Chain A
Amino acid sequence: MIWGIDLLILLLVVICAFATITIKDLLSAAIVFGVYSFLMCLLWAEMGAVDVAFMEATVGAGVSTILFIGAILHTSRRSKD
């Protein structure tokens, strides 16, 4: 554990989390959420939990981002009612 890298990744994680919940565009929010997942993966790997980091990289940054994009493509920009 190197506290400099740890602090840097934690700062980026917090920035990405705030960006995800404040961005209005859904597609951008999904992409930023993928970035958040990958930064969490880096944080797990840096803390020594390689198995959890593997899980986060495959499920969080890989598949769930694609599932979010696939769900967003079925929505429209303005609500109908």
Chain B
Amino acid sequence: MKLLQERIKHSKFGESIIIETTIRIMVPFIQLFGLYVIVHGHYSPGGGFQGGVILGASFILIGLGYDFKTSLTRMKEKTNIILGNLGALIFTGVALLCALMGGLFLDYSVLDKLIPLGAIEWRSFGIFLVEVGVGLAVMSIMVSLFWDICSGGDLDEGL
């Protein structure tokens, strides 16, 4: 473990071309799989939380394989915060919109008055909207947890 810490200090960590090439090829497919899990959450196992964790794991993989600076250039901290808050806003916004339209909290069928698609279709589509929000929020939280734990909280250098 001592050796690992010294190698991180001299920043000789993660300069293997095999690991970098593998990660560069794998990350788009991991993100595609995460999007599939989010979108197909109400037909098959999976959903917003699992898909969000997979999307966040792809950015964590960039941070593990390259160094810390590269993972900050791929996904900026401000973008991360905006995406996470947007996810929480989508969740509560859809739920509050249902309440404002005269139904219960998270009762999607009353959104039929806004855009007439049919109550049953709105129940399916509303779950999809909420899961997109959950996925964005979970992705942001996972990536920022990794950044904060690996850099000790100051986000300048890390794993």
Contacts and interface: CB of A to CB of B under 8 A. Distances in A.
B46 A63 contact: no
A27 B1 contact: yes
A48 to B, nearest CB: 11
Interface string B83-115: 000000000000000000000000000000000
A76 B4 CA distance: 11
Contacts of B56: 63
A32 B142 CA distance: 22
Interface residues of A, number: 21
* Nearest 10 A/B pairs, CB to CB: A70-B150, A50-B45, A58-B53, A70-B149, A51-B45, A54-B50, A54-B45, A58-B50, A62-B57, A71-B149
18 contacts: A51-B46, A51-B47, A53-B45, A58-B50, A58-B54, A58-B57, A59-B53, A63-B57, A63-B60, A63-B142, A66-B64, A67-B149, A70-B149, A70-B159, A71-B149, A73-B4, A73-B159, A77-B2
